[in-house]
Chain A
């Protein structure tokens, strides 16, 4: 049984007065504890799909089933309860916070908003969350502008798992990190997936990263699915023009500097 099923999703915007489809007839499924990656060139619709799945924007057509129910039909208290099961981590996820806000404050929010822990219980829960993502509990008192990019991304993941989600949408969540830090964050995500059976909708333009962590991949081109399948198989032998172009453009660790082009 699928955890998330997206069917015939469409979203149109206007460009220069003319409507165009940013997302056009998109369907895919994600199972529990599975990672599905979305890849594609800039503007192909990856972030728009993420926002639709999170219901940050409403589709023009299509259906989204999440945890066995019609997600788009939910509203009010029912929507709020279900939303706790669906979290997100973006490229600079703490950018929306006042940089003086403390790490504790950032983690306190979801615990309070979703009634997960009483006021007295929260400091202990915050410490546990920090430990879960490999951070020292003393970090709770620090302002978010005082911690490194890698630490910020761990805090964002801690915030996302605070509500015990079954699915996390990650939009370019590791793209701005140094390779060594990126590797550690990817390991953390895989560990959480194994331990807590969390599924990921993993958006990245980097096929190397996708190949390392995703089970399946959907390659997008101008709002439509160009191809999809097992991540390793698709990347090893892409069939679509855009899939081939993405693979060809991925920098390889071999010296090719002598050829003229």
Chain B
């Protein structure tokens, strides 16, 4: 398999109340083209930070070091050199060619101790990361680096946060198709309807005209997925996309993501704190802990032969339907 994305020594720290909060402490990993990679770890381990860095959505003021290199086929429709992190001054971006028909773009940031502010976000986000794209869209997106939306689709935990409450569903999806695929409005609407059918929303014509508040949580997440894949991105990132919905709907959404990724040949980065859920979907699993990558391997190897004690602890803490009940372990009974 070819490498789509090469992350080297990624260091990210946030600033909070004047103190630096390290979020990633030198993470290196490669994402293979067409694979389904799960990133797991407990709350605060840096999963969202990694995903946001890949998508160029980090909060303003985050300090970043290391490189994120992309290897995209020329057919991706890229005209400008691609650098994942928006608004890096050209002198800092390190861009080179590699291989036949490939374009390699590497963003090299913050050499030595010289960290730079890399993302022109409006306002600093705080704490947990379940908010949506709306809050963190780089303002220069449309002009300089139209990467998010076209090359990367991003699905957040809370679908309401990535959907605009006052714009009909159809228009929001059509907007993505129009912007990134250069379609006319009528063509973009036709595309939007096809997408609603692909994510199995009942009555696509009515849904096109519906507003987000008229849909259930699971339906809204399907809409968010439709918008994320509207421009046929190479990479789909789902950050806890099913954590806020009930188990039955969660299973449906996971099946949907699996099918869409297979049909379109997308690469998937699936973020979850649930190791069992990750294994239902992933080829490989990366385990993060306190901002470090402690283990990366085939999903089967991670479950059957974990190498790191922390991975074993995560597996032991999982309460599956075949686990020995805590009640019995304690010998308690009513």
Residue numbers of A with Cβ under 8 A of B are 31-35, 41-42, 149, 178-183, 186-187, 190-191, 193-194, 205-209, 211-215, 232, 235-236, 245-257, 260-261
Contact = CB atoms under 8 A, between A and B. Distances in A.
Interface in B299-334: 299-300, 303, 313-315, 317-321, 323, 325-327, 330, 332-334
B289 to A, nearest CB: 11
16 contacts: A32-B334, A34-B334, A41-B249, A42-B245, A149-B43, A178-B43, A187-B330, A206-B247, A207-B247, A207-B321, A208-B319, A211-B325, A232-B325, A253-B315, A257-B299, A260-B262
Interface in B196-238: 217
Contact of A255 (B274, B300, B313): B300
A33 B326 contact: no
Given A149-B43, A213-B327, A246-B247, A252 B276 contact: yes
Interface of A is mostly: helix
B211 to A, nearest CB: 15
A50 B5 CA distance: 48
A190 B326 contact: yes
- 8 interchain residue pairs of minimum CB distance: A249-B251, A251-B276, A208-B319, A179-B317, A42-B246, A178-B42, A34-B334, A251-B277
Given A194-B332, A249-B247, A253-B276, A261 B321 contact: no
A204 to B, nearest CB: 10
Nearest to A256: B280
B183 interface: no
B13 interface: no
Contacts of B327: 190, 212-215
B245 A209 contact: no
B57 interface: no
A250 B247 contact: yes
A253 B314 contact: no
A212 B319 CA distance: 7
Contacts of A194: 330, 332
Nearest to A39: B247
A208 B333 CA distance: 18
Contact of A187 (B259, B326, B333): B326
Contacts of B281: 257
A252 B250 CA distance: 13
A41 B273 CA distance: 21
Contacts of A253: 275-276, 279, 303, 315, 318, 320
Contact of B321 (A32, A181, A211): A211
A167 B33 CA distance: 54
B280 A257 contact: yes
A180 B313 CA distance: 8
B255 interface: yes
A194 B333 CA distance: 8
Nearest to A31: B334
Nearest to A249: B251
Nearest to A216: B334
Given A180-B313, A190-B330, A212-B319, A42 B277 contact: no
